[in-house]
Structure 1
Amino acid sequence: MSNPLQLKSLNHISLVCASLEKSVEFYVNVLGFSPVKRPTSLDFNGAWLFNYGIGIHLLQSEEPRGMPKTTPINPKDNHISFQCESTAAVEKRLQQMEIEYVKSRVEESGIYVDQLFFHDPDGMMIEICNCDNIPMVPLSEDKLWSCSRFNCNIPNRQRQIQQMIPM
């Protein structure tokens, strides 16, 4: 596999917010992130959050009124995705929290991925899915992954997956 920049992992994503407080509340109370210490040398309003092996850096917009308006939920728009254990449990919780969402389903060779899409307070699309159901199959190599597993190249799993994928 090519790694020209010698990358190790995704570290964080940064999101500009109209209201830092509302966004922190959302990412902490809805998605389960925890605030972490930011370097004191940063001289702008923001918050760092961490969970699931990734950081989210929230940045207070200098022009909150100029932020893009929330659009209808469109699963084909830019989004960040989180793996879950049960989309049914997530859907129930979203209903309890009165968060508007859209459901979608992807099928590949009889394997299904259920997806739930919704917006954060600034319109950033969030996807919650059971995406691990479908393996990541590189187009240029014979290695196989599953998107959130670190122990990817298990020979029995490879054979099992190869049998499911028409060549």
Structure 2
Amino acid sequence: MEKNLGLKSVHHIAIICSDYERSKTFYVDKLGLKVIREVYREERDSYKLDLALNDQYVIELFSFPSPPQRPSFPEARGLRHLAFSVDDIEMAVKNLQAKGIKTEIIRVDEFTDKRFTFFEDPDGLPLELYEV
């Protein structure tokens, strides 16, 4: 008999950035995530920034010296993108664009009939807005 692992939710997503201050500004000032904790780990020459969305811990932002580039196009194996749910996609897109963040056109998911769009973080990591 198989045992259930007892998974309850996604605890966090870890992101490694190439420019810590630029990514911190993007996720905190532009996307509005809240800083829970920021630590500099001298032995690794690395920052670790814990971020929350609606007071729920969701993202660990790391810096490391000279991280390799992430293959993105054509799509590579691994995490494809990170999606954020929104109530009003048009308002969210307008807010992103007002902050200088380019978005793709709003599309409709053919299976759910929900609207979505994509944009990128400073390192080209694909991010999605998905209207719920």
Q: What TM-score do the two structures reach when normalised by structure 2?
A: 0.77
Task: Give the stretch that moved more between structures: 35-44 or 15-24.
Answer: 35-44
1:19-98 alignment runs, 5 A limit: 19-37=19-37, 43=43, 44-52=46-54, 53-64=56-67, 66-68=68-70, 78-98=80-100
SS at 1:37 equivalent:
strand
Go from structure 1 to structure 2 and tell me whether the alpha carbon gap of 1:16 and 1:126 turns closer, same or farther (over 3 Å shift): same
Cα RMSD after superposing both structures = 2.9
Contact conserved, 1:14 with 1:59, CA < 8 A, in 2? Answer: yes
Gapped regions of structure 1 (runs ≥ 5): 133-167
Aligned residue pairs: how many? Answer: 124
Query: Which structure has the highest strand share of the two?
Result: 2
Q: Larger RCO: Structure 1 or Structure 2 (Cα < 8 Å, ≥ 6 residues apart)?
A: 2
Q: Counterpart of 1:162?
A: none
Give 1 or 2 for the bigger CA radius of gyration.
1
- Report Cα offsets for 1:100-151 as digits up to 9, x if no partner: 211221134xx63111201001111110111x3xxxxxxxxxxxxxxxxxxx
Contact conserved, 1:70 with 1:122, CA < 8 A, in 2? Answer: no
Gapped regions of structure 2 (runs ≥ 5): none
CA distance in 2, matches of 1:54, 1:85: 20
Per-residue deviation, 1:40: 7.8
Per-residue deviation, 1:61: 2.5
Q: Counterpart of 1:114?
A: 115
Percent identity of equivalent pairs: 27
Per-residue deviation, 1:54: 3.6
Go from structure 1 to structure 2 and tell me whether the alpha carbon gap of 1:4 and 1:62 turns closer, same or farther (over 3 Å shift): farther
Q: Counterpart of 1:101?
A: 103
